[in-house]
């Protein structure tokens, strides 16, 4: 399956090193191999493979390779300084593609000595738009599949749901056993696993770490660290409440969603909300990475508990207010109220099962699958 970033990366490789980050098994290596097929001479080196690691340490890869792909090099000690030397010393005409996950994304956020030497993309799971463009079929069929299977390529493309379930069980086990150990002490793994299990049942709700900490008999600061690890590993992402004062927003409770909708435990409405969250984040990351836009994903909640699921912003101004419903076509009261407070933001109620789209006052009642089909990625 051709991924949505392929043509953009091909173009950018002609100018600078390209850095691609994303969750484990989201398709980074497959994307690299598809890009290599477009070059007469390409070389792929993975730090996890002993023979490749020796080549990387000696820097003895082919100077005639028109595309050099380096995977998982963030596991090398001192890799940032090392990579700077590789970028500055590579032969003219050699494109360089570097892929990685957690630690590399953390470094990208902080910036480093490679500033100005690379262009970066975040690869996301399959969305309604990407499925329709690559596989065909209707938007409704695509959304149903993503809600059931999640958007990671292997389970999403699997022949049947049993294969998808087997993949997910192994994926989750490996993630906790291997990746989390890199960030945590071994004796914490059981607590981390319990924390993830709790998060699976609290998707879409404001998260009280203090309450969960009491249940698990650990300090809230410990759970905050665990949450940071899970975000760094692209297991979950948080959505902060909208507030012009960013510091104040960070102090309020975030909502947590899973990159893999298949991990969510909840009813059809909760799973729809998580799927929408993943596709909104993909849409915004695409606008940031490919178009340089200053955009954000939030939610709105007042002290009395009135809430709208999502709010999109651009240049610190709200552009969209979004509420997710499985079948309810009556305009959500909070969405109507907030649309009056933010008249420049488009108010949309996304309904999974909808016979007819309509405009109800300031609120647009839209079919979820078709609206998601028109996102940027």
- pLDDT by residue, tens only, the chain of 377 residues: 899 999 999 999 998 999 999 998 999 999 999 999 999 899 999 999 999 999 999 999 999 999 999 998 888 888 888 988 999 889 988 999 999 875 555 555 545 566 678 899 999 999 999 999 999 989 999 999 999 999 999 999 998 889 999 999 888 777 777 666 666 665 678 888 899 999 999 999 999 999 999 999 999 999 998 898 899 889 999 999 998 655 555 557 899 999 999 999 999 999 999 999 999 999 999 999 999 999 999 999 888 878 999 999 999 899 999 999 999 999 999 999 999 999 999 999 999 999 999 999 999 999 999 999 999 99
pLDDT value of residue 252 = 79
Q: Tell me, yes or no, whether 295 lies in a domain.
A: yes
Instruction: Kindly state whether residues 154 and 292 are assigned to the same domain.
Output: yes
CATH number of the domain residue 42 falls in: 3.40.50.300
Rounded CA Rg of the chain: 21
Q: Count up the domains in the chain and report the number.
A: 2
pLDDT value of residue 290 = 95
Instruction: Kindly state whether residues 77 and 145 are assigned to the same domain.
Output: no
Instruction: Kindly state whether residues 154 and 135 are assigned to the same domain.
Output: yes
Of 122, 137, 167, the domain-final residue:
122
Of 122, 147, 164, the domain-final residue:
122
pLDDT value of residue 118 = 87
Q: Tell me, yes or no, whether 1 lies in a domain.
A: no
Residue 235 belongs to what domain range?
128-373
Instruction: Kindly state whether residues 308 and 161 are assigned to the same domain.
Output: yes
Instruction: Kindly state whether residues 73 and 25 are assigned to the same domain.
Output: yes
Q: Tell me, yes or no, whether 156 lies in a domain.
A: yes
The rounded distance, in Å, linking the Cα atoms of 143 and 6 is 23
Instruction: Kindly state whether residues 37 and 183 are assigned to the same domain.
Output: no
pLDDT value of residue 110 = 46
Q: Which two tokens stand for residue 87?
A: 């970028």
pLDDT value of residue 104 = 57
Q: Tell me, yes or no, whether 342 lies in a domain.
A: yes
Instruction: Kindly state whether residues 115 and 134 are assigned to the same domain.
Output: no
Instruction: Kindly state whether residues 154 and 269 are assigned to the same domain.
Output: yes
Instruction: Kindly state whether residues 252 and 331 are assigned to the same domain.
Output: yes
């Amino acid at each position: 399956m051709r991924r949505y970033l392929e043509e953009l990366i091909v173009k950018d490789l002609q100018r600078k090193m390209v850095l691609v980050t994303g969750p484990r098994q989201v398709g980074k290596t497959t994307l690299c191999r598809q890009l290599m097929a477009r070059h007469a001479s390409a070389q792929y080196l993975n730090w996890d493979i002993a023979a490749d690691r020796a080549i990387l340490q000696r820097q003895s890869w082919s100077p005639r390779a028109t595309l050099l792909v380096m995977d998982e090099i963030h596991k090398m000690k001192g890799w940032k300084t090392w990579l700077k030397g590789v970028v500055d010393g590579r032969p003219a005409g050699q494109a360089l593609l570097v892929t990685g996950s957690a630690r590399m994304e953390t470094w990208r956020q902080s910036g480093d000595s490679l500033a100005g030497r690379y262009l970066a993309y975040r690869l996301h799971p399959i969305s309604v738009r990407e499925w329709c463009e690559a596989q065909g079929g209707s938007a409704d069929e695509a959304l149903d599949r993503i809600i059931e299977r999640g958007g990671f390529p292997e389970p999403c493309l699997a022949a049947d749901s049993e294969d998808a379930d087997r993949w997910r069980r192994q994926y989750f086990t490996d993630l906790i056993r291997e990746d989390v150990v890199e960030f945590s002490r071994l004796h914490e793994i059981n607590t981390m696993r319990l924390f993830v299990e709790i998060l699976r049942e609290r998707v879409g709700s404001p998260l009280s770490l203090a309450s969960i900490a009491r249940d698990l008999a650990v300090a809230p600061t410990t759970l905050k660290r665990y949450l940071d690890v899970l975000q760094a590993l692209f297991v979950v992402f948080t959505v902060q409440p909208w507030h012009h004062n960013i510091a104040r927003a960070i102090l309020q409770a975030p909502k947590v969603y899973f990159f893999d909708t298949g991990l969510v435990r909840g009813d059809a409405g909760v799973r729809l909300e998580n799927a929408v969250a993943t596709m909104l984040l993909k849409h915004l990351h695409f606008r940031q990475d490919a178009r340089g836009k200053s955009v954000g994903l939030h939610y709105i909640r007042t002290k009395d508990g009135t809430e709208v699921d999502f709010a999109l912003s651009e240049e610190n101004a709200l552009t969209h207010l979004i509420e997710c419903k499985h079948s309810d076509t009556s305009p959500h009261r909070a969405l109507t109220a907030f649309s009056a407070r933010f008249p420049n933001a488009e108010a949309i109620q996304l309904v999974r099962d909808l016979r007819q789209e309509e405009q109800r006052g300031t609120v647009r009642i839209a079919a979820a699958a078709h609206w998601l089909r028109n996102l940027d990625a």
